[in-house]
Chains A and B, each alone.
Chain A
Amino acid sequence: MEIFFIVTLLVCISLITILLKKRIVIEVISLLGSLVVLFLSFAIALKVSDVGTNYVLFNFFSINSLSAIIIMIISLIGLGANMYSIPFFRKETEKNIIGFSRVKQYFIFLNLFLASMFLAVSSSNPVLSWIFIEATTLSTAFLISFYNKSSSIEAAWKYLIINSIGLLLGFFGMLLYFTSISSLPGNGLISWDLLLNNVSHLDPIIAKIAFVFILIGFGTKVGFVPMHTWKPDAYSKAPPPLGALLSGALLPIAFFIILKFKIITDMVTGPLFTRNLLIFFGLISIAVASLIMLNSKNYKRLLAYSSIENAGIMALGFGFGGIGIFAAILHMIYHSFVKSVMFFSAGNLLLKYNSDKIDTIKGALKVLPITSISFIIGFLIVTGVPPFGIFLTKVSILSAGIKIYPIITFVALFFMSIVFIAFLKHISSMFFSENDEDMVHDENNIWLIIPLIIFIVLLIVLSFYIPPFLSNLINNSVLIY
């Protein structure tokens, strides 16, 4: 019942927010709601970890180990985004950037977005998952154009059109899988399980064509190159908490759908076909993102390209197989949390400097010490510096690939090194250069720091200790995918 309560609660919060006229009430309700959602998500994860199989409810919801992990990720980043949004938008209101109606609109769409993500990842039916992923596009389009500037409308338009086309192609691919089913079941819903049970009736060539469409369609949402073009624009123009949600929560959901279809395709065509495609998209995503990052001029766009690179690393992990799958799932978790740290830090920089250009940020380490250290820690984690968890996941993914695909592994390692160099170049320019003397040396607000510290602590703890229930969930996911 927990997932039902989560979705109902979030939709109710959205609806109640429409009627509310006091900002503090909107903020408190949204924050409390996200706390309740977090507890319920952990209850689901513990249940799935104990049972070890799918957790099914009303024939509409079906949660397996990986979806339980993603549900926890969404709820944690959802809570972080709520915690961060309140002081962030209060600061922006003080600066006359936004007014009450914008803030109200933000919390309405934010909770709808969260509800859509929970539904997309827990639906037992692929078409319902598709409908809810499309709903995430619709609920976030207005959030990307939040500041109503020419550039943010441009970003939102690209996001809307590119993602809609991608999802329609994904829908087409999804329907090709339904050719294995001769007639609709009694409730009229073709579930993931039914697709798996009828896999023997699926034509291998159709399965291959369908998977290509799935990878292009949902890969657009993940942000694989060359379907990534919306991502830097949307991430750079969206409010920073939304950037954290797009990168940390929405990316794993789209990946999850691709993996669901990967299992079906593998059963028909053998695993080589899907693995090669994932390796191909993974490698070009890492390569293109790393080269663009070298000359990035905007730190929010830098984070967007870093997300593209990390999506590529996850694709390589699932493509290489073996220990690579375990590492890719763990990488997904670390990446989601580290991106929250980095987007929230980017938000603090934006508030202080009123600019997202790398060139305008000088000597930030002295001006915003805690924010700067957080951003630098985020950089060390995301680029895979030891002893943080991503170091282990990157090494595991590369070691999984080195035996079968040595050249690809070395090329990937080369471009990962470029990402480190690119980040280091921008980090030294932003944080270690001489600062502007006129800048007031203090953090914006303690409440803008707390979410950063929570996620950093979480990342450090998870780098050295994985709780047994999470370990169970990851191991069970590896067996499935």
Chain B
Amino acid sequence: MSISFLQFLLEIMFLTIIFLHLFKKNSDIVLAYIIQSILVSLILSNSFIETGNILILWVILCVLVVKVILGPMFFNRLIKKNTLAFSVSTYLSSPLTFVFISFVTFMAFSKKLLPITNIIPSHHILLSLSISMIFLSLFLVVNRKGALSQIIGVLSLENSIIMFIVFAGLEQSPGLQIGIIFDIFVWIIISTVFASMIYNKFGSLNVTEMNRLKD
């Protein structure tokens, strides 16, 4: 795949994170995560095309099964079971969220981060985009009050780091990558179970309801 096509895929991924910040419906958030994970698989398939390593196909298969099929299936079950049509609000208002998104994206492309966005000079834009995705995913977890949004935020952070790894040429052996995906799979199950427990105890997925523990 050409760099411009990879950049195009990464830009769509970047947009999915922007939409994660904007979407109010939980099902839309899950859909954005599915699209993001499909794009991760597509970008990973570039490594397979370049190296011809069959084991990378297994990694892609694991990504598809865990992040595109099983993970969203758990999330959709959580939404249906608890009739959680709408996500709860954010700490910052939409205009302020946009200002922060612009600032973070600007920071990711600034000269300050040149040492890490220039690890492979020809991938400078791709790495800058990946860094901005990392920051924006982190911001998503911090800014959202909904437990499901926080789960998706953490998973989006993981996807963004994977993109950085791929474009910085730091991919690990397929065996280790499968180990990491297995960890993520267990994490998805546990976090979904906890989200369900939160709903049962607090009657909502709003994490601001959880304020019993204070000094």
Contacts and interface: CB of A to CB of B under 8 A. Distances in A.
A168 B158 contact: yes
Interface in A114-171: 125, 127-128, 131, 134-135, 138, 141-142, 145, 148-151, 153-158, 160-161, 164-165, 168, 171
A157 B150 CA distance: 11
B134 interface: yes
B10 interface: no
A151 B198 CA distance: 10
Given A141-B194, A157-B194, A179-B170, A150 B212 contact: yes
A161 B191 CA distance: 9
B170 A138 contact: no
A365 interface: no
Contacts of B183: 131, 134-135, 138
A295 B214 CA distance: 12
Interface stretch (A184-192, A256-264, A449-457, A469-477): A184-192
A128 B176 contact: yes
A295 B215 CA distance: 8
A176 B212 CA distance: 39
A175 B172 CA distance: 9
Main secondary structure of the interface of A (DSSP, over half): helix
Given A154-B212, A165-B157, A134 B187 contact: yes
A171 B160 CA distance: 12
A148 B198 CA distance: 10
Interface in B156-181: 157-158, 161, 164-165, 168, 170, 172-176, 179-180
A353 interface: no
B175 A157 contact: no
B198 A153 contact: yes
Contacts of B119: 179, 206
B131 to A, nearest CB: 10
A155 B210 CA distance: 9
A178 interface: yes
B161 A172 contact: yes
A176 B157 CA distance: 16
B194 A156 contact: yes
B197 A153 contact: yes
Contact of B190 (A141, A175, A237): A141
Interface in A197-246: 203, 205-206, 209, 232-233, 236-237
A188 B186 contact: no
A3 to B, nearest CB: 18
B213 A160 contact: no
Interface size range on A against B: 35 or more
B202 A150 contact: yes
A188 B154 contact: no
A331 interface: no
A387 B207 CA distance: 47
A296 interface: yes
Contact of B194 (A153, A184, A203): A153
Nearest to B142: A165
Contacts of A179: 119, 168, 170
A127 B172 contact: yes
A301 interface: yes
A352 interface: no
B207 A157 contact: yes
Contacts of A102: none
Contacts of B191: 160-161
30 contacts: A127-B179, A134-B183, A134-B187, A138-B190, A145-B194, A150-B210, A153-B198, A154-B213, A158-B210, A160-B194, A161-B154, A164-B154, A168-B158, A175-B161, A175-B164, A175-B170, A176-B116, A178-B170, A184-B172, A188-B173, A188-B174, A188-B175, A203-B115, A206-B115, A206-B116, A206-B119, A232-B215, A236-B213, A295-B215, A301-B215
List 9 tightest A-B contacts by C-beta distance, closest first. Answer: A188-B173, A154-B210, A205-B115, A151-B212, A233-B213, A150-B201, A178-B170, A175-B170, A134-B183
Interface of B: 115-116, 119, 134, 138, 141, 147, 150, 154, 157-158, 161, 164-165, 168, 170, 172-176, 179-180, 183, 186-187, 190-191, 194, 197-198, 201-202, 207, 210-213, 215
